[in-house]
Chain A
Amino acid sequence: DGGITQSPKYLFRKEGQNVTLSCEQNLNHDAMYWYRQDPGQGLRLIYYSQIVNDFQKGDIAEGYSVSREKKESFPLTVTSAQKNPTAFYLCASSIDRADSLTFGDGTRLSIL
């Protein structure tokens, strides 16, 4: 069945460490997104990509980086510059901007 796979489900980061969250889709969707979810604040957009080798910053891109080398994959790196990384991270994809989003089941990142 087609869908989005996020891994790992839980991740712990030490001070000064970069960590990478994986997102893979087999839906043949062109657009992919990363959202951060904090309690009581809804979802906020970190980065999005409409095509391979192209991506744009969302509202809260500082301290994060992405790549889109393959259509199926859109990994997110949480760098040491992100001082408050504890959150639930959700990856999503869509056929195009007029369509609905399909979400993965998220990665919960915590600080050690």
Chain B
Amino acid sequence: SQQGEEDPQALSIQEGENATMNCSYKTSINNLQWYRQNSGRGLVHLILIRSNEREKHSGRLRVTLDTSKKSSSLLITASRAADTASYFCATDPWNTGNQFYFGTGTSLTVIP
């Protein structure tokens, strides 16, 4: 399987704390993306980082990419209860045409 794997599977933190999620993948990629999914809804795109980039920021989100270790991390700073959701990484491998491969997700709970 070319799916990525997120770690941890579940994370529970207090409001105001930072949340860090990790994604590991198996093959060389063009880019890696992070998505968020609220319960029973579709996924929403958060951020895209290309293979030649190492770090990217968007508001309270910080994404890093280490292509030598085939891993990425998503940091959410100053978390809010509204950040409670599942977070998925998706990779765009070199040799698979127009496909995106999603990981199994991290379920984040932010306690008010």
Q: Interface residues, chain A, CB within 8 Å of chain B? A: 4, 6, 31, 33, 35, 40-45, 48, 50, 56, 58, 90, 92, 97-106, 108
Contacts and interface: CB of A to CB of B under 8 A. Distances in A.
21 contacts: A4-B42, A43-B43, A43-B102, A44-B102, A45-B100, A45-B101, A48-B98, A50-B98, A56-B97, A56-B98, A92-B42, A97-B97, A98-B30, A99-B48, A100-B33, A100-B45, A101-B33, A101-B35, A101-B90, A105-B41, A106-B42
Nearest to A106: B42
B8 to A, nearest CB: 14
Nearest to A56: B97
A56 B3 CA distance: 19
Nearest to B42: A103
B88 interface: yes
Interface residues of B, number: 24
A25 B51 CA distance: 29
Contacts of B48: 99-100
B109 to A, nearest CB: 17
Given A45-B99, A50-B98, A98-B31, A40 B45 contact: no
Nearest to B86: A42
Nearest to A100: B45
A105 B99 contact: no
Contacts of A50: 98
Given A43-B88, A90-B43, A106-B41, A101 B31 contact: no
A13 to B, nearest CB: 19
Interface string B50-83: 0000000000000000000000000000000000
- In the A-B complex, list the 3 residue pairs whose CB atoms are closest, starting with the nearest: A103-B42, A43-B102, A100-B45
Interface in B1-52: 3, 30-31, 33, 35, 40-45, 48
Given A56-B97, A106-B42, A42 B30 contact: no
A43 B42 CA distance: 11
Contacts of A56: 97-98
